[in-house]
Structure 1
């Protein structure tokens, strides 16, 4: 049976990748949900329940809703929390961090827009981490190296406009277990 699109690039891409790489392989379905309050630390209770964190920074674009200013950033922070539940479903929570517009100085955060290929690369990398950390699969180092893309930062990062900088989590590329 064909799945109906959610019209969300993250959810649709994750669904198709998890179906092939997690659900068919391990007989557990995974779901992706957004949570804009995620932090870069786990509580002791979360750790005991098996939650893990992955954090990365990637390229995205922004368009101000007030003045239509458009800009790109290679330092858009994303935090994922993920857990293989005891039920038939694993859960991934995603928080993409926002930025404010320099042009109009409005105090609203604008959510990033990612290209399909960037979303795919980010989620492929996350699924490799899930396979390694939740299912104890041996992941070939060559595959890991290909999935991790390095972006050259050409402009100075405007810390006072970056939500991740304000929260003290910008520019970290790590996994926390």
Structure 2
């Protein structure tokens, strides 16, 4: 705690500490079963988050390190969404046993239907952002229908993920 920016008060000292320790935790979430940590490796800038998930019931730790693989023309900025094949999930909030992420309706529709164009140093290339591979194919159609009905001026789209509960 004594090394956090709000305690140190000096961004240069804080950044130096983060780089030396090679980590910066940005969010901690805790439920009855899990501890979930969003962390960045040695940076404060908005880069790809990595995730640690600790399952208290099994005493196991899972480290999900994101890497952008440009060769497959598909990029995921968050946890891979194999539930309905939609956009990746990067939780911003937690309520009880639910993780929540919000998107503007405009961004959600654009990202889902058009993906993203990125400059790769040799020109601009197109990349898909959605996973497009649901665990069960019947889950994809309701999402596709929602995206078709969505207006850019609509209320934000919330992605809500319920954590698995402890079996009793």
With the shorter chain as reference, the TM-score category is under 0.3
| TM-score of the superposed pair, with normalisation by structure 1 | 0.26
Larger Rg: 2
By percentage of residues, which structure has more helix?
1
| TM-score of the superposed pair, with normalisation by structure 2 | 0.27
Higher relative contact order (CA 8 A, sep 6+): 1
